[in-house]
Amino acid sequence: MTIEAGQSLAGQPTTARQAGARRPLGELGRAALGRAGRAALLATGRPPVPDALEPLVRVHRRHHPQADLGLLARAYRLAEASHRGQKRKSGEPYITHPLAVTMILAQLGAGTTTLVASLLHDTVEDTDLTLDQVGAGFGPEVAYLVDGVTKLEKVDFGAAAEAETFRKMLVATGDDVRVMVIKLADRLHNMRTIRHMKPASQVRIAKVTRDVLIPLAERLGIQVLKAELEDIVFATLHPEEHARTRALMAGHEAEPDTLLEPFARQLARQLAETGVAAEVTVRPRHCVSLHRVLLERAAAPGPDGRPQGPQPADFGRLLVVVEENADCYAVLGELHTCWTPLPGEFKDFVAAPKFNLYQSLHTAVALEGRAVVEVLVRTRRMHEVAETGVVALGDPTPAGTAQDADELDRTDPARPGWLSRLLEWQQETPDPDAFWSALTADLAGDREITVVTETGETLQLRAGASCVDAAYLLGEETGHRCIGARVNGRLTALSTVLQDGDVLAVLTENLPAGGSQPSGPSPEWLAHARTPAARLAIERWLADHPARLPVVRTGPAGGQPAPPAHRAGERRAAPVTVAGRPGAPVRLARCCTPVPPDEVAGYPIRGGAVAVHRTSCPAGQRLRADGRAELEVRWRPEGAPAAGHRVTLLAEALNRPRLLADLTAAISGEGVGIVSAEVEPPQELRVRHTYTVELPEPGTLPALMRAMLKVSGVYDVSRPHAPEGARPRHSGGNGGDRPAPGVRPSWGIHDRSTAFTGHRGPGDSRGSAPQPHSDQRTE
């Protein structure tokens, strides 16, 4: 039902593609043309066409009044002569199949060249006609389309014939999208007559249609074709559920519409009063669409806590077709002013079209009686593209002019972004089984999302893609060097699933000095990769770079001076002097590992020893609060502990492969020995390394911390204290204070005496996500 509101829309007739209710692409009967139509056709002076082509010509001229009918007639005569004597499984002459496929394409509005190729699409495969003969008679463009949809022989490819045929069609589609349009129309007619196949063949063909061809129809935006394919597949694979859904639809159609039609008339009157020219249409749902709504109803409990049954508004939606883009928003304003909009139901695909060029405003409003009605608002052109997708955009750019086109223009039907990505990874998958698995997995996501990088680049990804997929979409080298990601300004794990509209920054490591290979991905990334391109790149890297265990160096690097050795039995001078207690044993606290020139204080502990803490250490402050006398302590100019100056350092980093090896190499490169190393389990993306090192000289500490901070992925290096609230353990054996068991050292408490360029202060590490070091950059 169509209700006009306001002034007429430029007097343009509503075609079959522009009608509100989606009708099956059925053939027109010859009686519909009539003798008057044939006489009018012959009166044009054009050469006569065969009678079998008259319904096709009538539909085609509606969209292309200047079509070359002589070319169509020649193609039909050649196809009819080539297929003469062949029968379909239904018993009909074989020529009925190419005629039906061509009629589907004509109803979609395809051009004459596409229709000619459709009439001939099975001749090379099933008759003695050769591709060279097709090219000689109709040109290389038609020959290319026919070759693109021609199946490969099972004799040559065996069980891989179907997968390789689809690979061939996809490659041909990359150059001319009409190849896939013809294939989809061919499959639609075959599905209409699938009842003549054996049951096993019906199931096999329906599953391939569901897994591959329906997603391709969705991505090409051909909704009328996709909807009918979905319904036939539903009836083939789930006949009982299909029958129940059809019965509900029939029952609803038999009753008067007391909700949608009255609301359509009310909306049309409201728009007419405001001067908005529009057509308001009640648009029934097709079988699969209604079945999905019913499943959602059954899964959501109603006010009484029980599953909800079908509601009158579930059987259809309102479609409002206007003239200009601005009118779309005028209609939206009237809807939201006169009725109550539902929060979260508004989607603007006009300003941000879908990946398949679909544009509409979607909203839902609540009527009296708590009924909720969905409303779609679009222009005539948007409606045409929404129904027929790339077919509505016309033939691809002629050869020789493509170089002048904008490379980022997503309206070119011959160059959709998803197809370009699919063609890239299929080249890396020579195995037919692997290609088929990757193809079905890639097409399984029935929608795509748009992610924007912080530099303004737009990325189109399948729904469910992670930061790993986005990194490899930016380039294989960027993916291999990825060490982290920032989503909407917050540091996040690489496994994070991206949402539509997210703002992303991919953090990468610098290439190692003196080499050209990054550390590369880890095997765990495969669990987070959703796109075939990312998975193939990761698998290829892992195959070329076998896993190697990191080597932890526990002494000075080669060529570096070692700490001075001391003879056994040699008495070492105490590292500090304690005022008032000459000769007292001194223990340097392990919680804060003081080294010259730290400001330190001493506190008496058991056994007459003195524990030396940094003055800023919370453990020492608690000792003082408990009544321990604070002793004045000074560093000896030449004193050193028996085991050398030991320091504990915390390195906080973005987790990545080879991080431990790179950090230990940086420490050893400064001539520092590692006494112990501890790596805590990663928390999402972040990891903390704790190192106890032995310094050859106290003055080497700032240089060591700078070297650690330069390692890719490390964003903070600090010296720990005992955490606030932890009770120190006093040990006579070592005289130090250690955090209580299970208490983590506090993050971001830095020693002021070791400040240096690039080392952030305490406030930078608390209360917000850590920021990457300047050695990392954003791709």
Per-residue pLDDT, averaged over 4-15, amounts to: 40
Residue 145: per-residue pLDDT: 93
Residue 398: per-residue pLDDT: 46
Q: pLDDT higher for 608 or 731?
A: 608
Selected catalytic residue, list 4, 27, 126, 395: 126
Query: Helix, strand, or coil here: 354?
Result: coil
Per-residue pLDDT, averaged over 514-523, amounts to: 68
Residue 98: per-residue pLDDT: 94
Residue 741: per-residue pLDDT: 33
Helix, strand, coil percent values for the chain (each to nearest 5): 45, 15, 40
The answer to whether the Cα torsion of 420, 424, 430, 436 is positive or negative is negative
Worst-scoring range by mean pLDDT, 81-95, 342-356, 479-493, 615-629? 615-629
Provide the pLDDT confidence category of residue 383 given band limits of 50, 70 and 90.
very high
Residue 674: per-residue pLDDT: 82
Residue 327 has pLDDT above 50, yes or no: yes
Q: pLDDT higher for 28 or 381?
A: 381
Which range among 350-354, 385-389, 400-404, 637-641 has the greatest average pLDDT? 385-389
Instruction: Name the residue with tokens 């779609």.
Output: 376
Residue 529 has pLDDT above 50, yes or no: yes
Q: What is the pLDDT of residues 545-569, one digit of tens each?
A: 775 544 444 444 444 444 444 443 4
Region for residue 456 given its phi and psi (left: phi exceeds 0; alpha: psi -120 to 50; beta: otherwise) = left
- The Cα 771–Cα 563 span in angstroms is 36
The alpha carbon of 443 is separated from its chain's Cα centroid by a whole number of angstroms, namely 12
Region for residue 733 given its phi and psi (left: phi exceeds 0; alpha: psi -120 to 50; beta: otherwise) = alpha
Residue 158: per-residue pLDDT: 65
Worst-scoring range by mean pLDDT, 214-228, 339-353, 653-667, 720-734? 720-734
Q: Which helix (H) or strand (E) holds 696?
A: none
Residue 428 has pLDDT above 70, yes or no: no
- The Cα 403–Cα 397 span in angstroms is 10
- The Cα 623–Cα 591 span in angstroms is 13
Per-residue pLDDT, averaged over 67-86, amounts to: 92
CB proximity list for 103: less than 8 A, separation 6 or greater? 25, 27, 28, 55, 56, 59
Per-residue pLDDT, averaged over 753-778, amounts to: 35
Closest-CA residue to 186 (of 117, 133, 245)? 117
Residue 712: per-residue pLDDT: 83
Closest-CA residue to 489 (of 467, 474, 508, 504)? 504
- The Cα 451–Cα 504 span in angstroms is 7
Residue 154: per-residue pLDDT: 56
Look over the chain and give the mean of its residue pLDDT values, rounded to a whole number. Answer: 76
Residue 19: per-residue pLDDT: 40
Torsion, CA 676, CA 682, CA 688, CA 690, rounded to 10: -10
Per-residue pLDDT, averaged over 333-353, amounts to: 89
Residue 459: per-residue pLDDT: 83
Residue 357 has pLDDT above 90, yes or no: no
Q: What is the pLDDT of residues 162-177, one digit of tens each?
A: 778 888 888 888 888 8
Q: Say whether pTM exceeds 0.75.
A: no
Torsion, CA 240, CA 242, CA 243, CA 247, rounded to 10: 140
Active site annotation includes 304: no
Q: pLDDT higher for 152 or 647?
A: 647
Q: pLDDT higher for 434 or 530?
A: 530
Residue 641 has pLDDT above 80, yes or no: no
Residue 677 has pLDDT above 90, yes or no: no
Closest-CA residue to 465 (of 476, 457, 473)? 473
Residue 154 contacts residue 424 (beta carbons within 8 Å) = no
Selected catalytic residue, list 125, 164, 261, 395: 125
Residue 570 has pLDDT above 60, yes or no: no
Residue 457 has pLDDT above 70, yes or no: yes
Residue-wise DSSP of 629-695: PPEEEEE-TT---TT-EEEEEEEEEE--TTHHHHHHHHHHHTT-EEEEEEEPPPBTTEEEEEEEEEE
Per-residue pLDDT, averaged over 622-643, amounts to: 73
Calculate what percentage of the chain has a pLDDT beyond 90: 29
Residue 44 has pLDDT above 50, yes or no: no
Q: What is the pLDDT of residues 279-308, one digit of tens each?
A: 999 999 999 999 998 888 887 776 666 777
For residue 60, give the amino acid letter: H
Active site annotation includes 509: no
Calculate what percentage of the chain has a pLDDT beyond 70: 73
Query: Helix, strand, or coil here: 604?
Result: strand
